[in-house]
Amino acid sequence: MKLLIIFSSYAEAKHFLEWLSTGKKISSELESLFFELPYSLYSYEKEGILIDVVIVGQTGFESAFHLGRILSHKRYHLALQLGIGISNDDKISFASICNVINDKPLESGIHQNGALVDLYSAAFLDIAAYPHQLGGLVNKTNAYFNVFLEFKKVASASLSVLYADDQMKQNEIKNVYQCHIHTLGGVGFSFACLYAKQSFYQLRIIVNDRSTLSIDVNAALDKAMPEFIETIKKIS
C-alpha cells in the first residue's frame, strides 16, 4: 500500500516521524521535487506500508501547490492530512481527532455588520463549479476511516486566521455556517485531492478546550498522536 501523509510543520509531525523512523528508509519518486527542501520529505516502509511524509507549510496555498506537484508525479492508495483544528462545538473535546467530510471555504476577508462573509457569498467562488458541492468541498471517499473508526465526522470552515480564544466567532461559525470546527487553510488540501481525484482524508486534532477557554497545541498532539499511529497500523 502507498500512503501519503501531509503535515503543516515539523512540530506537528515530530511524534509520528519518531515512530516512522524505526522502519526502513526508502527512496521516493518525490525526491526530485524536494531536493531544495531536504527536511520536508521523509520516506519509509513501515508495517508493510510505503509511506511518504511531506511537510508543506502552514498556508492553504503552500499545501495546494506542493500537493499538486506531488500528485502529478505519484499516486497513492490514500492521502492523509493530519493537522490541528479549533472546536466550535462543546461536544467536540480537547485532543479529539476529527474526520473532515465537508470543508467550507469560509473567509473572504470581507465582513458585513461585523460578520464573516464566505467565498461563495462574496462571489469569489462558484458554488456549483467542480469540485464544489453541497456548499463546500465534500469528501466522498468511502473506506476505512468512514466505516470502522470512531473519529467524529465534521464540517469544517477553512479560514485565514484561527479564532482559538474567541468563542463569539466560534459560535458564529457553528451557528451560521454549521461548521463543527475550523482550520487554517485546510481547503487547500481538500481542493487539490478532489480535483486530482485522489482518495483522501483530512484529520484534525482539536487543540482548544471550550470549557476552560484554553489552548495547548503540544498537549493535544501528545495525547492524540498514539491514536493516530494505531490507526496507521490498522491500515496494513
**Domains by residue range for the chain, with CATH:** 2-235 (3.40.50.1580)
Residues 6+ apart with CB under 8 A from 185: 58, 59, 60, 61, 63, 158, 159, 160
Across residues 225-235, what is the average pLDDT? 89
Across residues 56-66, what is the average pLDDT? 85
Residues 6+ apart with CB under 8 A from 117: 107, 108, 110, 111
Q: Assess whether pLDDT exceeds 70 at residue 38.
A: no
Residues shown for the chain: 236
Neighbours of 82 (CB within 10 A): 24
* CA separation for the pair 143, 214 (Å, rounded): 34
Q: Assess whether pLDDT exceeds 90 at residue 18.
A: yes
Q: Assess whether pLDDT exceeds 70 at residue 176.
A: yes
Please tell me the predicted confidence (pLDDT) of residue 59. 81
Please tell me the predicted confidence (pLDDT) of residue 19. 96
Given pLDDT bands bounded at 50, 70 and 90, which one contains residue 121? confident
Q: Higher pLDDT residue, 32 or 45?
A: 45
**CB-neighbour burial class of residue 6 (10 A; exposed 0-12, middle 13-18, buried 19+):** buried
Given pLDDT bands bounded at 50, 70 and 90, which one contains residue 144? low
E-strand ranges in the chain read 2-7, 24-25, 41-46, 49-55, 78-87, 97-105, 111-112, 115-116, 137-138, 152-159, 181-184, 200-206, 208-209, 214-215
